[in-house]
Amino acid sequence: MTKISFSVNSEHAEIVAAEALIAPWFSDDRPLRGGAGRVDWRMCEFFSKLVDRSSVTDDPGSLFLLRTDERVRATSVLLVAIGRRTDVNPGAVEERLIHAFSSALTLGSRQIAICLRTIKESVSDFSVSSFLAGLLPVVKTLELESMRCSLLVDSQDLSSIRKDISLVAARSPDLFPGP
């Protein structure tokens, strides 16, 4: 059974080492904000230009895979459309992020970073522990020895999210590496 190791940090999206970086974006944000905005800025607004030309759909849950260069440390970025900032609910956001996580795994990524900053500040009822618990059934289907997932959050959220990880690990000890 696959063991998943979670970490939490407050690094900016463009400097995080990962095979895949999951960056949620809201369709009514211009310019883009959060991790998606930072990656877009580093990539000379490549993604924003595609969105503005309607070359990319902003349908909630749609994904866009962006291969990166030296301007972004992650090998690839999976931009996930969350929907309009004013219309989202925590359950839908969780579902879209889990779908993006599953898609990153399907692409072969075993070291995944997920930008949660913009979600935590925009979706007041979003529960990190519920989201993490939702990831576990996906992890259970894997036939890997181990994988790593880093959660990118604001520095003031580090402690509470570490507690969320501990709670989820206590409920599913078979999926987490021992001390």
pLDDT at 51 (0 to 100): 87
The third-level CATH classification (topology) of the domain covering 3-175 is Leucine Aminopeptidase, subunit E; domain 1 (3.40.220)
What pTM does this model have?
Answer: 0.94
pLDDT in tens, the chain (179 residues): 788 999 999 999 999 999 999 999 999 988 999 999 999 999 999 999 998 888 888 899 999 999 999 999 999 999 999 999 888 899 999 999 999 999 999 999 999 999 999 998 888 889 999 999 999 999 888 888 889 999 999 999 999 999 999 999 998 888 888 65
Q: Are 103 and 141 in contact (CB under 8 A)?
A: no
Domain assignments of the chain as residue spans, ordered by start:
3-175
pLDDT at 178 (0 to 100): 64
Bridge partners (DSSP) of residue 81 are: 25
Which SS3 state, helix, strand or coil, does residue 9 take?
strand
Radius of gyration over alpha carbons of the chain, in Å? 15
